[in-house]
Structure 1
């Protein structure tokens, strides 16, 4: 296996173009999920600007690039998916028919192990080491928005009627509703991040935007524009005031949903749901095949989805003491978290406790 490892700044324009071309043609070869924007060179390069240890392995066959494998590496050889913790799709982007030996790849990259939690489906050499597989709901709009809405009406008629009625009521009560699919005002992004931070605190979750690198990453991606990658900020306004917003990433055929939030003052109108329907309409008009809502069981995702794809988590390891130690520390935490999330009798009381703690934390801040 001919593997050459580069730092982000060392990746040539030719390699970036070849990587993008592999993604653009993925749907023609039966692997459409490889076009996910979290697997794009732009995402890996952006993470490399805000985090140390980002590397990109380029695998060559017959003198030509056959695969691109971005990862993060610690000084001790512990490897992680690029942006682990915020990345919703991970893996190796490759040309049709390419196969690889996972441990040989790790050895070439100087890794004792590689950890992932949103592995794209179809990566058998990595999937063999997965500890669990989870659904990631999607909204199919490749047949157009009206076709999507018709399916939504058939699957969830009450939900669809209620959401559309709430949008009309929002317009009557708060003023004219306006949707901007690709908002370029940085202040709108700051508003979204403030809403999201407040939501994390209110619900007792860890505030991702309290981590400077995540704020810097999102801001950098907001300003990233290439062909066909872009950071997309979508905003729902009522009488000129933002009431809901979402920041995600897009490639030619996939819009990856990432950070949605809304103004709690408008909660009774379900502005986040209204926003997602508007996003679906605009994405369909823009040639997007589907919106990936991301791994995680949420009621709104179940209401909006048309189907599910699968992502996996786990570790690929070599025979190495560092791999044994890292996995021994991480495996029990992962197992406990997944058990709680998958069992309502455990999740619901845990969720109530977190929200109670969140209310206390919000009052103190």
Structure 2
């Protein structure tokens, strides 16, 4: 097995074609984050993107894009923007982690959105999570039937009731799955920034970062069958009441940054937005909407399945990630303790 480290600028047509072949070997790779276009866009905004190419007998069997944060640490390409992480590999590849880290010129690689079935990474996980999905196979009505059988039979009826109430009170509802409006995109970003600042603090507003805004702009401009940005909007009369920005790759849509106008919260515009996205996306041939990691109530209500994820780290020597795992579990115990709850209240009061 041979390793070759390249920059994103060295990614040529032959390697991109092989990347596509490797993606076709597993449905988990249908996710937009595993597209070479996503890596290229991230590399346009950040100069620390590297790609580890794994070869066996002269054939490329693995491609692993990442950020070289330092000579010690690396993370998956996209950093905290990446809802799916890890290498794109041939199904038969038995990747030796220590050798890979050496070739990446780092000692420590952390992950928090790694598919549990991808390689050996689950062996190094500290905790597990899920990325909930809407299975649109067979169209929206087939999804609705599955949802009724698995979850809340009245959910979509409630959404339809709120649609009628909104329309009657504020004007006709208009939904667009793929909007090209600069004004609507700016409103969505402004709304998300306000949400971040209100709920988690200004320091967690990711859109304050230049490279994040550049990535959003370039993804929005992308419009190819294997990778495209998607801006979806919901209007009541002349007022934008909800919007979403995400990505599509083939038949998979990733639900990324939803927002709704809080003045209309009484009528659940966010739930209407997701329902309309599902209905219209199914009409375009999309068979899955991935809601991303987390157990927020709206995800649990709409999901008909889930992809299993894990969080942890790999290192060389292995004791480095073992020590970090110990710190992680100690921190989780503190959070769950009465002291942790008290400290959390103090922090919220001080904010």
What is the TM-score when the length of structure 2 is the normalising length? 0.90
Output the CA distance in 1 between the equivalents of 2:349 and 2:253: 34
Within a 5 Å distance, the mapping from 1:292-331 to structure 2 comes to 292-319=290-317, 324=320
- 1:64-83 mapped onto 2 (5 Å cutoff): 64-83=59-78
Structure 1 regions of 5+ residues with no counterpart? 359-365
Aligned pair partner of 2:154 in 153, 158, 162: 158
The offset of 1:327, in angstroms, is 7.5
Determine helix, strand or coil for the equivalent of 2:224: coil
Of the three residues 118, 122, 134, the one matched with 2:117 is: 122
For residues 335 and 37 of structure 1, the distance between their equivalents in structure 2, rounded to whole angstroms, comes to 34
Structure 2 counterpart of 1:138: 133
How big is the shift at 1:350? 8.3
Q: State how far apart, in whole Å, the 1-side matches of 2:158 and 2:259 are.
A: 19
Match of 1:243 among 230, 241, 244: 241
* Alignment partners' CA distance in 2, 1:163 and 1:140: 19
Deviations 1:17-53 (A, max 9, x none): 2212332x23xxxx31111111111111111122231
SS of residue paired to 1:75: coil
Detail structure 1 runs of 4+ shifted over 4 Å in the superposition.
326-331, 337-340, 343-358
Instruction: Sort the Cα spacing of 1:280 and 1:348 in 2 relative to 1 into closer, same or farther, 3 A.
Output: farther
Partners of 1:204 and 1:355 within 8 A in 2? no
Would the alpha carbon gap of residues 9 and 51 (structure 1) be closer, same or farther in structure 2, given more than 3 Å must change? same
Worse overlay, 57-66 or 83-92: 57-66
* Structure 1 CA distance for aligned equivalents of residues 163 and 31 of structure 2: 30
Q: CA deviation at 1:271?
A: 0.8
Corresponding residue to 2:27 among 7, 13, 32: 32
Map of 2:48 onto structure 1: 53
Q: Secondary structure at the match of 1:182?
A: coil
Give the Cα–Cα distance (whole angstroms) in 1 for the partners of residues 152 and 188 of structure 2.
28
Structure 2 residue 97 is matched with structure 1 residue 97: no
Match of 1:187 among 172, 178, 183: 183
Kindly indicate whether the alpha-carbon contact (under 8 Å) linking 2:312 and 2:325 is maintained by their aligned counterparts in 1: no
Q: What is the deviation of 1:99?
A: 2.2
SS at match of 1:179: strand
1:204 maps to what in 2?
200
Change (3 A) 1:349 1:176: farther
Deviation at 1:58, TM superposition (A): 1.4
What TM-score comes out, normalization by structure 1 length? 0.87
Measured at CA, do residues 199 and 67 of structure 1 come closer, stay the same or move farther in structure 2, by a change above 3 Å?
same
Match of 2:39 in 1: 44
CA distance in structure 2 between the partners assigned to 1:249 and 1:10 by the alignment: 25
Q: 1:162 to 1:253 in 2, by over 3 A?
A: same
2:21 aligned with 1:21: yes
Flag the 1:253–1:335 CA change in 2: closer, same or farther, 3 A: farther
Distance 2:34 2:338 in 1: 35
**2-side partners of 1:349 and 1:177: how far apart?**
45
Deviates more, 1:307-316 or 1:207-216: 207-216
**In 1: Cα distance, 2:19 partner to 2:342 partner:** 45
The alignment of Structure 1 onto Structure 2 pairs a total of residues equal to 348
Seen in structure 2, the aligned counterparts of structure 1 residues 92 and 231 have a Cα distance that, compared at 3 Å, is same
Query: For residues 338 and 237 of structure 1, do their structure 2 counterparts lie closer, same or farther at Cα, with a shift above 3 Å needed?
Result: farther
Answer yes or no: is the 8 Å Cα contact 1:80–1:114 preserved in 2.
yes
Is 1:215 the equivalent of 2:213? yes
Distance 1:114-1:61 versus aligned 2 partners, 3 A rule: same
Change (3 A) 1:182 1:148: same
Give the Å deviation of 1:157.
Answer: 2.1
Offset at residue 152 of structure 1 (A): 2.2
Q: Say whether the 8 Å CA contact 1:204–1:356 is kept in structure 2.
A: no
> Partners of 1:118 and 1:49 in 2: how far apart?
23
Deviation readout 1:284-308 (Å, 9 max, x if unpaired): 1222221111111201111111112
The residue that corresponds to 1:287 in the other structure is 285
